[in-house]
Amino acid sequence: MATNLLSAAECKNATSNGAGVRKLHDGDGLYLWVYLDGRKYWRMRYWQVGKEKSLSVGVYPKVSLSDARKKRDELRKQLQSDLDPSAERKATTLRKKLAAENSFEAVALEWHSKQKIKWVAHHANRVKRLLELSIFPVLGKRPIDQIEAPELLGAIRKIEARGAHDLAHRVLQICGQVFRYGIATGRCTRNLSTDLRGALTPHVMQHQSAVRPEELPDLLRAIARYDETGDKQTRLALQLLAQTFVRTNELTGAEWGEFDMENALWIIPAGRMKMKTEHVVPLARQALAILAELKEISGGSRFVFPGRNRDKPISNNTMLFALYRMGYKGKMTGHGFRAVASTILNETGFKPDVIERQLAHCERNEVRGAYNRAEYLPERKKMMQHWADYLGSIEAGAKVVPLHGQAA
């Protein structure tokens, strides 16, 4: 048994006595290295296969004398088992590094960085936020190949406990995509999300509210009167949304540079589209007239619908809250114009492919999804003008039978 040569007081008061470094021995290879500038480090000196080596044991006083002795004793046990403490430490560091690289969080963030290239920014941010709030705190640091189904279920059920059943299914779906990416990159061998089928409370898909086709005339007339209680820009935004049936965020983020007035086309860049594919919206005469009014009130902003800060567009909620004020809360949303247009145009007799292209419902198949932006453009121009004429007719109170290409 080695005699301990140092005391706690000696460690505290030790100086280098003017030397660059002074080494104070504590027995069994443990030393306190005291530097000229006052820094103090614990090191252990040992021999392996006849070769002298030393290993850092910690910084004093963060590592006390008693703690340093415990670490020394642990290292000596490794030596007694013919293990090199230095090599074992490097191996442990490597294992931790590999575990960190293969953690669920690391794999998920790598997957997210690959996917966000084809996502719009707000969707990419939402997916990452869901992982950061719901999964990373529980499973983020766990090696993805060591996670078991009950662990994943436990994390998802915390979401269910808040009553957010739809969100629970969405987060599980995201986790399933991460596991599939992990399998593809050799980090795990099982997709645990498939093991949890039937384990969550079933959810009912909630479609965004939309008026029935027969209710559309009253809605259009209510929008036309919105200036009486609201502002003109919001009224024009709702009317243009009805005319073009684009997604709400695609409308609110519109910039004047996207419009080709001469050819009556609105070209929405890929970066603003849900499927990251440039989209063309033919503009009917009525839509061009609305844009002319908007140009007069946009105040020189690059945005078609500038907010109070002219360098930023209005919020997506602007039109939603306007619909609320008109009495359509729970009955209609901005997205609802897409559903109504799809229903009526399909009943009208336009080709489904033409309607789907105008709705920007891209093919999930990557080959078919890379379609020419002008595909079906002549038919789409006719359809959009027919749609604008139809909206104008029913708003005026005409009894319109939506037959393809004509209005009674």
Active site residues: 247, 274, 335, 338, 361, 371
Parallel/antiparallel/unpaired status of strands 40-48 and 30-35:
antiparallel
- Residues 6 or more apart from 37 whose CB is under 8 A from it? none
CB 238 within 8 A of CB 293: no
Residue 266 gets the label, from left (phi > 0), alpha (psi -120 to 50) or beta, of: beta
Residues 6+ apart with CB under 8 A from 85: 44, 46, 55, 75, 78, 79
CB 160 within 8 A of CB 180: no
106-117 as b/e: b if 16+ CB within 10 A: bbbbbbbeebbe
> Which residue, chain included where needed, has tokens 């419009």?
259
Contact between 127 and 112 (Cβ < 8 Å): yes
In the sheet that holds 21-27, the strands lie side by side as: 21-27, 30-35, 40-48, 51-60
Buried b (16+ CB within 10 A) or exposed e, 223-255: beebeeebeebbbbbbbbbbbbbbbbbbbbbbe
Q: Where are the alpha helices (DSSP H) in 276-350?
A: 285-297, 317-325, 336-348
**3-class SS at 362?**
coil
Distances in Å between the alpha carbon of 196 and those of 131, 148, 157, 216?
18, 11, 11, 43
DSSP structure string for 145-163: GG--HHHHHHHHHHHHTTT
Q: Is residue 282 classed as helix, strand or coil in its secondary structure?
A: strand
CA distance 16 to 21: 6
Three-state DSSP at 98 gives helix
